[in-house]
């Protein structure tokens, strides 16, 4: 059984995180707080995927997932300004490496939407950055059964 478009993108995100030695989690912003309390170390969190479809042909869509990601590199509190700057640089490097791995995939197109939200220690997440990545690919869902359905071709008859 092949993966749906949504499952494929999630699997790609997970494999990319694991390739960098990071934990990967898919949470809502609210449930991420609880997850972060019970897990340690660096991680990538997928906190949202907004899906849009653009028709290419009559029977094929191009799907884009605007994926909201958090990259957390440290959970240590009471850092100096120099340490905070160093860890922010580490988070940005990690995000860029992650995007590089996503771009290696032969089926997807990734635009680096930018990681402009910086969060510092003291919160439940720790030190890191967040942003949105648009990930696009041709729809992988199987619509063969519905393509053969002609009941909506002409509803006036």
- Is pTM beyond 0.85? Reply is no
Options 3.30.2000.30, 3.40.50.10780, 3.90.550.10, 1.10.3720.10; which CATH number does 5-147 get? 3.30.2000.30
List the pLDDT tens digit at each of the 157 positions of the chain: 488 889 999 999 999 999 999 999 999 988 988 898 888 889 999 999 999 988 877 667 889 999 999 999 887 777 788 988 888 899 999 999 999 999 999 999 998 777 877 776 556 677 888 999 999 988 876 555 544 555 555 555 5
**Burial class of 140 by CB neighbour count within 10 A (0 to 12, 13 to 18, 19+):** middle
> Taking Cα atoms as reference points, which of 118, 110, 113, 104 lies closest to residue 132?
113
Give the residue extent of every domain in the chain.
Answer: 5-147
């Amino acid at each position: 059984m092949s993966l749906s478009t949504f499952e494929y993108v999630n699997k790609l995100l997970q494999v990319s995180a694991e390739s960098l030695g990071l934990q990967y989690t898919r949470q809502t912003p609210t449930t991420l707080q609880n997850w972060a309390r019970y897990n340690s170390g660096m991680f990538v969190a997928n906190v949202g995927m907004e899906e849009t479809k653009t028709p290419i042909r009559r029977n094929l869509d191009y799907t884009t997932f605007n994926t909201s990601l958090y990259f957390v590199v440290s959970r240590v509190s009471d850092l100096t300004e120099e340490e905070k700057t160093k860890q922010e640089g580490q988070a940005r490097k990690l995000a860029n490496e992650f995007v590089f791995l996503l771009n290696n995939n032969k089926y997807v197109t990734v635009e680096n939407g930018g990681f402009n939200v910086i969060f510092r220690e003291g919160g439940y997440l720790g030190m890191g950055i967040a942003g949105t990545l648009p990930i696009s690919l041709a729809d992988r869902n199987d619509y063969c059964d519905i393509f053969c359905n002609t009941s909506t071709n002409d509803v006036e008859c």
